[in-house]
Amino acid sequence: MNVLAVAIGVVAGVGAVVFRVGIWVVQELLYGTSLNPGNVSFALVPVTNTFDLLSPLGPLRYAAIPALGGLLVGVIVLLTTDAVKGHGVPSVLDAMLNRGGRISPKIALYKTLASSVAIGSGASLGREGPIIQIGSAAGSFFGRFVRSRHTRTLVAAGAAAGIAGTFNTPIGGIMFALEILLAEYYLGHVITVVLAALTATAVARPILEFSPTPGIREFLVPASYQLVTPAVELPIYLLLGVVVGLVGAGLVKLLYGVEHFFERLDAPGYLKPALGGLLLGASVLVGTVVLGVGPGTAAGLLLGVGYGVVHRSIDGGFLFGALVALAVLKAVGFSLSVGSGSSGGVFSPSLFVGATVGGAFGLAVHALVPGTAPSGAYALVGMGGIFAATAGAPLTAIIIIFELTGQYTIILPLLMVSVVGSEIASYLLNGSTIYTQKLRDLGYTVQERRIGSIEDVHVADVMTTAVDTVKVGTPLSEAVNRLRDTDHGGLPIVEADESLAGIVVQSDAQAYLTENIEALDGDDDPAADPPVEDVGTRTVVTTTPNSNLLHVVDAMEAADVGRVPVVDNATVVGIVTRSDVLDAYDDIPIESAVEPMRCRRGDERAQSDSRATPRTAAGDR
């Protein structure tokens, strides 16, 4: 596992570099300049080179280019897979929850191409979602070389490596994988994830010219911010936590509201990202009026990743009205980009909205309570607060903001705002997050599932394949002798073609023979030793090889049985017993193993692969 973790880190680190270069190339081709994090002047060079022919459009070219990029993304999705669109993390969670962590390696290539085109052409999205999906695909590929129960760990390691490589935040990447993807802190997971993240950082940092010094970070932060008057400022930060919780919940609702609109829209799927890009460009033109700037400046403010605005918000370079307008326009722009089916992440937009909302809050506080920390301090804390509120991951938010900024002095306010904001948003969103709402829309109750537990063990990993069975027509007395000889509590009854016909349980068979022992001794009643199927249970709880073990546990508990036949196209291919379930617990942490036994799901259980055959249900007592 450790060797594979290092290999995943190398692949994810190189992938992060290729992805960032791809975005830069597309921006240079379409805009003749780079919409990069350091572009703090906000002024875009007019479109040149290959697309100089768009210059006659004047300001409208800032709507035409995102629309063109959206069209290209739509075509890529049409020619590849729907997994390419969106912000990536829900697809990874879906794979971990429902497909054993299996992700096609082709996804890494397709996602790199689509997201480079989308972000490079101005989609108001970030890099984190795509690189998580790219790294996870690498982890899934290497997961082919280990037992399937470890695949999810390697997928999470790939996600951590992707974040670490592209943002230079190894600890933040680790926390993201543990808090959001694996949802637990088990030493076996931690070691694998840490190795992958550290390796990716070591590979990507020298190539991307990262530096461990605070002066050359993703965000260049001015002088250290401190609590000037804690007794006054901490209650103010508590209020900021309430604000970011409300804004974060609103952001998630806006995003999925726009997505639902585009899903209902009667238009070809490949055209929807183009329409989203066109509307995004229209929001840029609205920004020229609201912000009172030229179209090139408005495009630099609102298109692409947007870290330039984050820098300026931390510096205190915007007025209150501008910050509010930027927050609203960015929220609309990134919702249009993701909701229409473009390809990119939501982490950077959440930082953008957090910095502008926090900065506006800070300006208001500074006006009302002079002598408190500058507005930039609230912008920094707002960044982490909005991400924590939307992602439901306060620990990850705290660590990533600290790594991106190097500002230890904001940890206490950041803790307060992130926890309060995430709690309020969770309440307003009924436990969903920006990453899990998509799965909830598909019918999954993600918040009740435990990833990295018995729920992650497939039946095929633990079932006994050499199954003792009895044929239809076998005398009951012979079946009882088989039960005694094999020391089984029950035997599946099968037809001549090995399809399941029922199950005979030792206690039921023995009770029947005991009641008819005199008839058997006298041999005067053929009914005293009937065919086994006449006494056995013809309604049987079954499962399939691809089902997870938690579903089997639920089925055993509901039917009060001790063994469940495993069928594939009605043919018996294995059997799972209580002892098999107990043995599976040896490879998972106790705290993860116990929790699923207490979980109860409603609609989700009906979707499980563990189900009764048409002749439903009993097995071994």
CATH of the domain at 590: 3.10.580.10
Q: What was the pLDDT predicted at 444?
A: 66
Is 150 within the bounds of a domain? yes
- Taking 70 as the threshold, does the pLDDT of residue 455 lie above it? no
The reply to whether 471 and 377 lie within a common domain is no
The reply to whether 202 and 237 lie within a common domain is no
End-of-domain residue from the set 425, 448, 471: 448
Q: According to the per-residue pLDDT averaged within each range, which of 179-188, 518-527, 558-567 is highest? A: 558-567
pLDDT tens, position by position, 355-374: 999 999 999 998 898 878 88
Is 529 within the bounds of a domain? yes
The reply to whether 203 and 250 lie within a common domain is no
The reply to whether 426 and 492 lie within a common domain is no
Q: State the angle between helix axes of 307-315 and 375-391 in degrees (0 to 180), rounded to the nearest 10.
A: 140
End-of-domain residue from the set 431, 448, 465: 448
Contact 88, 111 (CB under 8 A): yes
Is 406 within the bounds of a domain? yes
The reply to whether 44 and 174 lie within a common domain is yes
- Taking 60 as the threshold, does the pLDDT of residue 546 lie above it? yes
The reply to whether 534 and 572 lie within a common domain is yes
Is 151 within the bounds of a domain? yes
pLDDT tens, position by position, 251-307: 999 999 999 999 999 999 899 999 999 999 999 999 999 999 888 888 888 988 888
Task: Report residue 585's pLDDT band, with 50, 70 and 90 as the boundaries.
Answer: low
Is 263 within the bounds of a domain? yes
Domain span at residue 583? 454-612
pLDDT tens, position by position, 566-578: 998 888 888 888 8
Asked which of 79-83, 139-143, 328-332, 587-591 is least confident by mean pLDDT, the reply is 587-591
The overall average pLDDT reported for the chain is 80
Looking at residue 117, which CATH number applies to its domain?
1.10.3080.10
Q: What's the burial of 496, exposed, middle or buried (CB within 10 Å: 0-12/13-18/19+)?
A: exposed
Asked which of 185-194, 530-539, 584-593 is least confident by mean pLDDT, the reply is 584-593
The reply to whether 443 and 408 lie within a common domain is yes
Among candidate residues 363, 397, 378, the one with its CA nearest the CA of residue 238: 378
pLDDT tens, position by position, 149-194: 678 888 989 999 999 888 888 898 898 888 888 766 566 678 889 9
Number of domains in the chain: 3
Q: What was the pLDDT predicted at 409?
A: 76
Is 171 within the bounds of a domain? yes
State pTM to two decimals.
0.72
Phi, psi of 349 (to 5 degrees): -60, -35
- Taking 50 as the threshold, does the pLDDT of residue 352 lie above it? yes
pLDDT tens, position by position, 60-104: 888 889 999 999 999 999 999 888 888 888 888 888 777 777 888
* pLDDT-above-70 percentage for the chain: 81
Q: Which residues contact 324 (CB under 8 A, 6 or more apart)?
A: 356, 360
Is 224 within the bounds of a domain? no
Task: Report residue 44's pLDDT band, with 50, 70 and 90 as the boundaries.
Answer: very low
Q: Encoding tokens for residue 316?
A: 């205190």
Is 597 within the bounds of a domain? yes
The reply to whether 349 and 253 lie within a common domain is yes
End-of-domain residue from the set 448, 482, 517: 448
The reply to whether 591 and 480 lie within a common domain is yes
- Taking 50 as the threshold, does the pLDDT of residue 495 lie above it? yes
The reply to whether 163 and 244 lie within a common domain is no
The reply to whether 467 and 440 lie within a common domain is no
The reply to whether 374 and 472 lie within a common domain is no
Sign of the Cα torsion 176, 88, 550, 1 reads negative
Among candidate residues 323, 123, 158, 308, the one with its CA nearest the CA of residue 218: 308
